[in-house]
Amino acid sequence: MLDIAEVAERTGLAPSALRYYEKEGLIESGGRNGLRRTYHPDVLERLGLITCARSAGFSIAEIGRFLAATPEDGPILRERMARKAADLDHKIDQLVRMRASLQHAAICTHEPLVDCPDFKRAVRNVYAPEETASDGTAPEETAPEETAERQPAATSCVKSHAVARS
């Protein structure tokens, strides 16, 4: 068994967050050692999943429903998962566009930077990719190499998992 301080240290979460997650039913305490809560080592993997889901924008309620899901929950749950996956795809696309605008800003020599037409277009495309550019052309499609670069986002979740397990 791991006490609350050890779980907090291994996961980087505050003990108050662990108590909150327990109160919300996301994790379970294995008992107490004196006045300290203890947890089974498997809680580290579950906390890795919770941390990854939180960083992806899932609410505590959504995580709770997901963790309690069974195959009998059927099409409603699967529809929610598919909708959330589509939301994540949209957010990833948005972040890729934001990264492109920051990469441009890092090398742009226009003074002042905020007046640069390319920078303005890049920033505008972060939240409105369907709009046309100032010259009337459609914004550029996401390059294949940008799509391939989406892997690190999943890797950070995997790293979070690995940290929680160690």
Say what the pTM is: 0.62
What tokens were used for 62?
Answer: 């959504």
Q: What is the sign of the dihedral through the CA atoms of 68, 73, 76 and 81?
A: positive
* Terminal Cα distance for the chain, rounded: 14
2 strand-pairing partners: 39
In the structure, how many helices (H) and strands (E) does the chain have? Answer: 8, 3
Q: 12: which 2 tokens?
A: 């980087």
Domains of the chain: 2-68 (1.10.1660.10), 75-156 (no CATH)
Q: What is the pLDDT of residues 129-166, one digit of tens each?
A: 655 444 444 444 444 344 334 333 333 343 444 444 44
